[in-house]
Structure formats: C-alpha cells, structure tokens
Amino acid sequence: MTRIHGSRRSLMPIDEHFDSQLKCRERRRRRIEMRRRLSSVSAVAGTDNLQSQKLNLAETDDENFNPPAIASLIKEKEIMTSPVYGSMSVVGRAREMEDEISVRLDLCRPEINGYEPVHYFGVFDGHGGHHVSALCKDNMHVILEEELMRVKSRTARDKEELWRSAISRSFERIDEMAMTLCECNGVEKYKVCKSHPQFSIVGSTAVIALLTPEYLIVANCGDSRAVLCRNGKAVPLSVDHKPDREDERARIEALGGRILFAGNGARVEGVLAMSRAIGDRLLKQVVTSEPEFMFIKREAGDMNLILASDGLWDVLSSELSCEVVHKCQEEDLKCNLRAARSATAVAAALLVRLAMGRRSSDNISVIVVDLRN
C-alpha cells in the first residue's frame, strides 16, 4: 500500500513512513537538547574553541550525530574549568613523616558562593606525631563542606562574615576531635585515653585555601604559610603564628602562659614553637585553634598560589619561591592544560629540591596552584 501526497507519490509503506517520522522527531529533540547543554558549557568555559565546536555540532547531520562523544566533550570542558595544581610531600631529614596535604577540586557548590564550585587545598604539619595532621587530612574537608552547605546567603555585605563563621566552626570541630584522639580504638572512635598521655602534646598546623571563581580565601592556624604570586610579586596571605610575635605573646601572657627562649628559639611554655595549633591538649589554655583569615579578590595578574609547611619557609623566602614558580610557568606560554599541569608539578618538585639543598631539617610539603585563566 502506498500513500499519495499532492502530486508526489511516496513508495514508502505507511508503517515505515510513520517510524521514520518518529525517528526524525527524536533526533531533532536530541539535537535541541545537546545545543542547550553546549550553550551552558560554553558560557562557563568562555573559550572560542568550544564556541566553534558548538556551532559545528549544531550543523551536524543525523548520520554523524553522536551523543556519547558530545557528552564526553562536555565533561572534558567542565574539567578544564577546574584549577591546575602540582604537589609534593617528603620526609626530608626529619626522623618521621608528620606532614599531610589534601586537595579536593569542586568540594561543594554552596548557596553562599552562588552555587559556583569551591576548590579546597590544605597543608597540615604535625608535631609530636602524625596523628592530628592525618586527622585533619581525612576530616577537615568533610566538616568544611557540611558547614558551607548549611549557610544560607543573605546580603552581599554579610557574605565575608558568613565565610568566616563557617570556616571557624570547621576549625573548632576538628580541634574537638583532636582533643579526644585515642590510639587504642583508632581515630574513628574519638574518646579520651588515659593510657596514652603522649597524645596530650600531639598537634598540627593547618593552612587551607578555598578558591572560587571570584575570591581566594585563606585560613591559617600555625606556622604553615600561603603566598600569592601577583604580577610577579609575592603577596603574603597568612602570617606565621610564632610565640615571639608581639600580639601572640601578649595574648598568651594575658592568659597566664609563658614564652621561654632557648637555643632553638621562642617556645610556648618552653615546649611548642608555634602559638596556635589544632590539638595540643596539654597547652590548650593558651594555644588556640582559632584561625586568622585573608579574603582577596582574584585579579588578572594572579599567577599562582603556594601553600607549604615550614620545612620550606624555614630556608626559602616567599619572594624566591614565587620567582621559582614563575620561571616554571614561563615555559608554558600557550597556557594549555597539559603544559600547565607539568609546570605546577615541576615547580612543586623544584621547591622541595631547593629546600633540601639548603639543608632544611623538617618535613617539606608544597602545593602549587596555577591561577592563570
């Protein structure tokens, strides 16, 4: 049986003709859907290359239409919007490894950040043992995500305070966990153990950086450090919490504590070489876990971010470290993804090697984040 349309005769059977119409509609629906998705990805990526690919895909005929391939392209472009970083952590000349590093790209997309991604970087330098730094590595990002996702955004004027409150609560919670740390039942049990008094002097520094499309937020507790390289110059994003810092010394003495000076420098009660830390149950009356903050708006001249433990900063200045990373980035003039990854990895390894060459006696942990567009 055939069907006649006007003066033209179709030799296609009715059933096959009906199936063909359904297939055409389905293909058209899929094309429209993929164009919308590609438009949204193009808006995020903001690249001319992706725009041209979107136009080419919109003109693709049905025979060459490949949804799985397009989905893969979308995923690849979303990955390219994440920051590129390199890291290295070595025991160095220390007796045991007490440093930990943690990176979580696209940690969460909270309301406070307009549902845009928040990327997380952290360096934790333990003392008295590795237990508290390992605790921070495994749990800090989990707690921080919980706190950020709870925040309900209000006016733009309040946003900085909302960030501060969420991060402060995260430091308080991780400190409470460190104060009840027990080796007998593992760190997942968290109950005070009188059989292991050495846990009273176990603690860790914590410097974390939260990277958003608009801001860079750093919270620091201890003497690990964050440095921004902007237009070729080092911009400090944290100030080391040392006992001989004038404001820190005044705070400790006001609480009844003492700063004692020996051949190895100033120490709280002659024990701890920093004035703030996570844990340290024995010194908790004067050693606080409250972090200091730095909020900085991202600019076109931002080149890289360096987070590192004091094993690096004891022997390398912030300025020299930024210069080293900048030289590595200069090799990557086209700023493609593979070269950028290589540059950050090489920079982190080179900083560690320089610190070792300068006879650093501590663990050395470094994260280098590429901030170029």
Task: For residues 120 and 206, give the distance between their C-alpha atoms in angstroms, rounded to a whole number.
Answer: 13
Q: How confident is the model at residue 184 (pLDDT cuts 50, 70, 90)?
A: low
pLDDT at 75 over 70: no
Query: What does DSSP assign to residue 228?
Result: E
| Lowest-pLDDT range of 36-45, 204-213, 271-280 | 36-45
> Residue 156: its pLDDT value, please?
55
Looking at residue 199, its pLDDT comes to: 63
| pLDDT for the residue 20 | 65
Beta carbons of 129 and 163 less than 8 angstroms apart: no
User: Strands, DSSP E only, in the chain?
Assistant: 3-5, 8-10, 84-90, 99-108, 118-127, 203-204, 206-211, 215-221, 225-230, 233-236, 259-262, 265-268, 278-279, 292-297, 302-308, 364-370
Residue 18 has pLDDT above 90, yes or no: no
Q: 324-341 pLDDT, tens per residue?
A: 999 988 876 555 666 667
CATH topology of domain 82-241+276-370: Phosphatase 2c; domain 1 (3.60.40)
pLDDT tens-place string over residues 130-172: 999 999 999 999 999 999 999 987 655 678 899 999 999 999 9
Q: What is the pLDDT of residue 1?
A: 46
Q: What is the mean pLDDT of residues 47-61?
A: 37
Query: Which residue's structure tokens are 């007490």?
Result: 98
Q: What is the pLDDT of residue 264?
A: 78
**Mean pLDDT over residues 35-46, rounded?**
43
pLDDT over threshold 70, residue 190: no
Taking residues 258-284, report their average pLDDT: 89
Distance CA(212)–CA(302), nearest Å, equals 13
Record the pTM. Answer: 0.76
Asked if residue 363 lies in contact with residue 97, where contact means CB atoms within 8 angstroms, the answer is: yes
Q: Has residue 195 got a pLDDT over 60? A: no
Q: Is the pLDDT of residue 228 over 80?
A: yes
Average pLDDT over residues 48-59: 36
Confidence check: pLDDT of 179 > 70: yes
Annotated domain spans of the chain: 3-79, 82-241+276-370
Q: At residue 290, does pLDDT exceed 90? A: yes
Please give the pLDDT value at position 180.
82
The pLDDT value given to residue 341: 74
d(CA 286, CA 258): 9
Whether pLDDT at 309 is above 80: yes
At residue 70, does pLDDT exceed 80? no
Does residue 56 carry a pLDDT above 50? no
Mean pLDDT score of the chain: 81
